[in-house]
Amino acid sequence: MSAGAIDASGAVGQPRRPTRSRPVALARRRGVSILMVTLTCLAAAVAVVPLVVILVYLLKQGASALSLSFFTSMPKPVGEAGGGMANAIIGTLILIGIASAVGLPVGIGAGLYLAERRGTRLANLVRFLADVLNGLPSIVMGIFAWQFLVRPVGHFSALAGGAAIGAMMIPLVTRTTEEMVRTVPQSLREAALALGYPRWRTSLQIVLRTALGGIVTGVLVAVARVAGETAPLLFTALGNQFWSTKISQPIAALPLQIFTYAISPYEEQHAQAWAGALVLITLVLVISIVARVVTRARLGGGHD
């Protein structure tokens, strides 16, 4: 923020002499250039390979175990083929609901604060800490939630799991809300204030409503991210082999179920794990793609 930092960075960015002083054959320099450009192209191609490979495996392994009953029936006992993850799918939806109830008000509120009090010391600190919080290892959030919400109560619960992943949504929602509120033209705010709107109504009914589309997109991205979180749920939501929708009880979740089945020794459960992963990744990717398409349409495709 200070001018000093900008100067320092600017100094770092001083261009070096782009051409070497000793005479090098132009052909050789061109050759090196072409080779390196090709290598960067190759690097970009290689960077896409893992996603493609993982998706292909998920489709290949998961599709065979996937059927309508996967969504409607309960897990079969060990050793029996078939069955489904109806309880885990409902569980994940419930956990997302709790997470949203925890994360959205805080995230949107904090985002509004950052946008409205932009430039103040507190706003800068909160923005910085939100970014730091965004990098918090999910397992740390898991043991924190256990210590804070499970240990005092004495039992695992969907509520603790939902709160843990809800806390992980906060930094994402905060930053998106801030960015989106900042795109609302100042003139709109001024017009509302000139008409005699109180500040709070201007913020909530004019500014927030204008930015709502973008915020919803950001919320979707946050939901996509926490929907696949496993580590924060290990010691909070715990998982459940039975049908449960009580938020005070342990609850099944898709990522937990995939983890349990993946490390189990039974073939039938491996197949279920692949099917579960296919469902989970479809959920996550569809949300991500929808969010991206909506964002691009909104920003005219130019940005990001």
Partner 1 sequence: MNATRKLPSIQGSVVADRIYRATILFFALCVPLLLLLIFVEIGRAGWPALRQFGGAFLTSSRWDPVQGEFGAAPAILGTLLTSIIALLIATPLALGGAIFLSEFCPAWLRQPLSFLIDLLAAVPSVVFGLWGVFVLVPLLRGTVMPFLRDTLHLGVTPFFTGPAYGPSVLAASLILAIMVLPYIAAVSREVLMAVPRSQREAALALGATRWETITGAVVPYARTGIFGGIILGLGRALGETMAVTMVIGNRHELSASLFAPGYTMASLIANEFSEATSDLHLSALMAVGFVLFVITLLVNAVARLLVRRVGEVRA
Comparing CA positions, the residue from 79, 51, 50, 85 lying closest to residue 65 is 85
Of 199 and 246, which has the nearer Cβ to partner 1? 199
Of 137 and 185, which has the nearer Cβ to partner 1? 137
Of 74 and 143, which has the nearer Cβ to partner 1? 143
Shortest CB 240 distance to partner 1, Å: 14
Contact 222, 205 (CB under 8 A): no
**From CA 277, how far away is CA 193, in angstroms rounded?**
50
Scanning 135-157, the segments in alpha helix (DSSP H) are 138-145
Shortest CB 105 distance to partner 1, Å: 7
Shortest CB 50 distance to partner 1, Å: 5
Shortest CB 140 distance to partner 1, Å: 5
Shortest CB 106 distance to partner 1, Å: 5
- Tracing tokens 């489709």 back to the chain, one arrives at 59
Contacts of 290 (CB under 8 A, 6+ apart): 220
Shortest CB 86 distance to partner 1, Å: 19
Contact 227, 168 (CB under 8 A): no
Of 135 and 154, which has the nearer Cβ to partner 1? 135
**From CA 284, how far away is CA 291, in angstroms rounded?**
11
Contacts of 157 (CB under 8 A, 6+ apart): 149, 150, 236, 237, 247, 248, 249, 250, 251
Of 86 and 106, which has the nearer Cβ to partner 1? 106
Contacts of 91 (CB under 8 A, 6+ apart): 158, 237, 240, 244, 251, 252, 253, 254
What b/e sequence results for 224-235 when a residue is b if at least 16 CB atoms lie within 10 Å of its CB, and e otherwise?
bbbbbbbbbbbb
**From CA 220, how far away is CA 218, in angstroms rounded?**
5
Shortest CB 57 distance to partner 1, Å: 6
Of 93 and 136, which has the nearer Cβ to partner 1? 136
Shortest CB 93 distance to partner 1, Å: 16
Q: Is 278 exposed, middle or buried (0-12, 13-18, 19+ CB in 10 A)?
A: buried
Of 142 and 218, which has the nearer Cβ to partner 1? 142
Of 12 and 68, which has the nearer Cβ to partner 1? 12
